[in-house]
Amino acid sequence: MNAHIVVVAGDGIGPEVTHEAVRSLEAIATRFQHTFVFEHHLIGGAAIDATGSALPNETLQAALKADAVLLGAVGGPQWDNPQALIRPEDGLLGIRKALQLYANLRPVRVYTQLAEASPLKQHILAGVDFIVVRELTGGLYFGQPKERRIRSDGGITAIDTLEYHDYEIDRILQLAFELAASPSRRGMLASVDKANVLETSRLWRERAQSLAQHYPSVTLQHILVDTAAMRLVMSPSQFDVIVTENTFGDILTDEAAVLTGSMGLLPSASLGQIRNSKGFPLGLYEPIHGSAPDIAGKGIANPIGTILSAALLLRYSLGLEHEAQTLEHAVEHALANGARTVDISAAHALSTSQMTEEILNAL
């Protein structure tokens, strides 16, 4: 297969970890006789510094033409001024919106070899294997108005708008129901909302309830978001597929990430309706960890979250399931062989590129 992949490395550790993911994809291409062409573009703070825009048009046009987009991370202290008119995060939100990536899939698996790196007790971690489906292009992140107003008394009022349309709710719920019904999952769907308080959540719950009749093999459960936050640490193995709106999904996936022992391990895939030249969804693939400016440039970042994101890219945007599994198994082997970066073990930690070598050796 010939595939065209746009790489937007972004800021902080973004360039370091995407470099390793590209190496992994090149190794897969060699092994399975594919040709992957990589094209690098700017996003986030790096793009602001170079062009004044967090998402230059050139980047967006390239992404729209690609088969898939691999992203590192955006943001950093130098662009954090609350008064700033343009922020690195605008680049990320902008590309998600422009590519209509309404579904963000964040799989959470605990590797038994790493259980001791988790802040939770081992018996709680047994059998943890779930996936969070986060709505990504609606809700508080995008609702209008989103502004500040000066009141007549001279004070300031800030406004964000939480708005969800029925069709936005339906398409993300449908995707989650289909995933829960698929052979790779266990047929359980937890829909997380705040229906005791929010009108958007009441509509969400209603739509989930009515869609459920089309998926008789799926057991649907509604969970309030505060309860869900608690259950994620009390009994995370009860979850199979979790579906939730944008902001709740943002918060719960950071919580879920630490179950595995390190944020550095978790990948994500953002998918939507646009099809690529292969007829698969044009997706955006990124680790969930962020730009980690404190360790940027030191060569110690964990590349696994991005390498596993590359595996999701192979699976969802290129339809290369076997290749995806091969890369995922190589990560497991490297971990089983004791390969560790500093976030999961301070002793005998490998550098970012050494960790990748361990993974590629296990291919």
> Residue 255 CB, nearest distance to ligand IPM (Å)?
12
Asked if 100 contacts 272 with a C-beta cutoff of 8 angstroms, the reply is yes
Work out the number of other CB atoms within 10 angstroms of the CB of residue 187: 15
Q: From the list 62, 92, 228, 324, which residue makes contact with ligand IPM (rule: CB under 6 A)? A: 92
163 binds ligand IPM (CB under 6 A): no
Work out the number of other CB atoms within 10 angstroms of the CB of residue 198: 16
Residue 160 annotated in active site: no
Query: Rounded to whole angstroms, how far apart are CA atoms 174 and 214?
Result: 10
- Of 67, 102, 111, 141, the catalytic one is 141
Chain center to CA of 225: 19
Residue 80 annotated in active site: no
> Residue 151 CB, nearest distance to ligand IPM (Å)?
28
- Identify which of residues 54 and 334 has a Cβ nearer to ligand IPM in the complex: 54
Given ligand IPM, Mg ion, none, residue 178, with its beta carbon under 5 to 8 Å by kind, binds none
> Residue 70 CB, nearest distance to ligand IPM (Å)?
14
> Residue 96 CB, nearest distance to ligand IPM (Å)?
8
| Burial (CB count <10 Å: 0-12, 13-18, 19+), residue 46 | buried
Considering CB under 6 A, how many residues would be counted as binding ligand IPM? 5
- The residues in 30-69 that bind Mg ion, with binding defined as CB under 5 A, are none
Chain center to CA of 304: 13
206's tokens:
């209603």
- Identify which of residues 256 and 334 has a Cβ nearer to Mg ion in the complex: 256
Query: Rounded to whole angstroms, how far apart are CA atoms 332 and 34?
Result: 23
Residues with Cβ within 8 Å of 234's Cβ and at least 6 positions away in sequence, in order, are 124
250 binds Mg ion (CB under 5 A): yes
User: Helices then strands (H, E): number in the chain?
Assistant: 12, 12
- The residues in 62-81 that bind ligand IPM, with binding defined as CB under 6 A, are 75
- Of 97, 170, 254, 278, the catalytic one is 254
263's tokens:
């944020």
Asked if 80 contacts 224 with a C-beta cutoff of 8 angstroms, the reply is no
Asked if 48 contacts 79 with a C-beta cutoff of 8 angstroms, the reply is yes
Residue 194 annotated in active site: yes
Across-strand partners of 125?
none
Query: Rounded to whole angstroms, how far apart are CA atoms 351 and 348?
Result: 10
Given Mg ion, ligand IPM, none, residue 89, with its beta carbon under 5 to 8 Å by kind, binds ligand IPM
Residue 250 annotated in active site: yes
Given ligand IPM, Mg ion, none, residue 92, with its beta carbon under 5 to 8 Å by kind, binds ligand IPM
> Residue 132 CB, nearest distance to Mg ion (Å)?
11
103's tokens:
């579904």
- The residues in 195-224 that bind Mg ion, with binding defined as CB under 5 A, are none
89 binds ligand IPM (CB under 6 A): yes
Query: Rounded to whole angstroms, how far apart are CA atoms 264 and 301?
Result: 8
> Residue 116 CB, nearest distance to ligand IPM (Å)?
26
255 binds ligand IPM (CB under 6 A): no
Across-strand partners of 104?
134, 270
- Identify which of residues 134 and 315 has a Cβ nearer to ligand IPM in the complex: 134
Q: From the list 250, 255, 332, 357, which residue makes contact with ligand IPM (rule: CB under 6 A)? A: 250
Query: Rounded to whole angstroms, how far apart are CA atoms 137 and 98?
Result: 9
- The catalytic residue positions are 141, 194, 226, 250, 254
Q: Contact positions toward ligand IPM, by CB under 6 A?
A: 75, 89, 92, 250, 288
Residues in touch with Mg ion (CB under 5 A): 250
